[in-house]
Amino acid sequence: MKEFDFVVVGSGIAGLSFALKAAQHGSVAVITKRKGADSNTAWAQGGIACVTSDEDSFELHVRDTLEAGAGLCDEKVVRTIVTEAPEAIRELMEVGVHFDERDVTGHRELDLGREGGHSKRRVLHVQDVTGREIENKLLAALGRSPRVQLLENHTAIDLITAAKLGFATEDRCLGLYSLDEKTGEVETIRSDRVVLATGGCGKVYLYTTNPAVATGDGVAMAWRAGVAIANMEFVQFHPTCLFHAEQRSFLISEAVRGEGGILRDARGEDFMSRYHARGSLAPRDVVARAIDAEIKRSGAQCVYLDITHKPEAFLRERFPHIFETCLQLGIDMSRQPIPVVPAAHYQCGGIKTDINGASNLRGLYAIGEVGCTGLHGANRLASNSLLEGVVVARRACEALVREFPKEQDHKIALPEWVSGNVQDVDELVVIYHNWDEIRRLMWDYVGVVRSDKRLQRAASRLRNLQREIREFYWNFKVSVDLLELRNLATVAALIVDSALLRKESRGLHYTLDYPQTDEAHFRRDTVLSRG
């Protein structure tokens, strides 16, 4: 049994920010199922939202967030995170993140971008690789901390709780089991302070902007441990994923529209002006539905993002990663529009927590995309996600140190993992087939536009798939592929069950059977609980 004062699952901005702070108070294990840099954070292009300009204000940032959230944001949480943003930015700068600046009348100031749903320029960025820059700087700082162990190629399997062990006390989290992919052994990891920072679940869909690690592990683990889950029906589809056979998961940042990019149909017409007063800078849910409607109406495979009116030099400097990637695929964005389609991007729901990331299971916290604090409501405002991750990470550390002082730690020996009479997986094709089936049925039935019939079909098939996967899980040795499949099926079912409960259209949840918003009955969170 390995024992740590703090255990963090996930190595994105939330998990690494927490680990750096927690290391000031004790030993920390950071568990990540691939390399440290393999996270959703590293793929984030746009930037991080924060009020820094005299033309902007906290009140405007709050208003924009509430408007995007379609009535489901917790205003107190929104105000807290928005007002604590400057301190979060300062801390990122302290670990070496250098946000882009520009010359203004003889002095340097932050170069602020604007994205959909924002009334002002307030997005700090590092060209179009903001997340990668933040990830690298946090990992470098982590490497300098002797109190932190980064356990790469370790996949968390399940949480260990007092209830599971049969303790006649208040249920609480005592640690977790983790598969060491290199040895194939399952390790028992003990801690009274477990933080899930596992990111989202984009890989539950056939088309996504997320990396392969985004399989909903944290939500699935928490659900199996009896933790409340909220608002999983609100899956954000990014409107502009590159449509190309060789690059199915490449995001075309919302910042391209922020710098003047226009969405056009196959005839070259600016169709977004028909859907929203802000045109191509409308909130993401509006833009994604509009593109979906245009594609279905016209029979086209995609729409086009046109920024050809900007000079090539500007595009190369502002969007070097996007420009070069497109160029390698034969698309010169300075001379031709970029073909784009919506793709699953961000999980607005997750483990229900308070503003500090605390779940309803004592000792278990969830921060970043895996948690549902109430900031995003029914639709996340662009570039609020990295902000939430770093702000809530700091608050979670303070709360855990305050609520669980080290001197109160209880010496509890946890049971070792018992595999029982299982065998190696004989046919991997079963895992891959089920994986593909889940992702396709979610795309076809639980996508941008939904209906009760589609959702019920998905729910029925998912019940059968979960039964098959459960039988597979208990009869074969655990592997990363099997664990991810198990988690994908769980999260897919949570999304479908939540969507079936919401008999209205709001934010990211749009259903043909209930196209109107029902303020009287559904201005509330969708909370699922096994308790």
Catalytic residues: 284
With b for 16 or more beta-carbon neighbours within 10 A and e for fewer, the 8-42 pattern comes to bbbbbbbbbbbbbbbbebebbbbbbbbebbbbbbb
Q: One-letter amino acid identity for 457?
A: R
Asked if 149 contacts 11 with a C-beta cutoff of 8 angstroms, the reply is no
Asked if 74 contacts 374 with a C-beta cutoff of 8 angstroms, the reply is yes
Distance CA 130, CA 99 (A): 8
Distance CA 95, CA 137 (A): 6
Burial of 527 (0-12, 13-18, 19+ CB in 10 A): middle
Instruction: Tell me whether strands 123-124 and 350-352 are parallel, antiparallel or unpaired.
Output: unpaired
DSSP string, 36-74: TT-SHHHH--S-EE---STT--HHHHHHHHHHHTTT-S-
Asked if 392 contacts 355 with a C-beta cutoff of 8 angstroms, the reply is yes
| Three-class DSSP category at 501 | helix
| Three-class DSSP category at 229 | strand
| Three-class DSSP category at 237 | strand
DSSP string, 373-431: -SSSTTSPPTT-HHHHHHHHHHHHHHHHHHHS-GGG----PPPPP---S-B--S-HHHH
Measured in whole angstroms, the distance separating CA 54 from the mean position of its chain's CA atoms is: 31
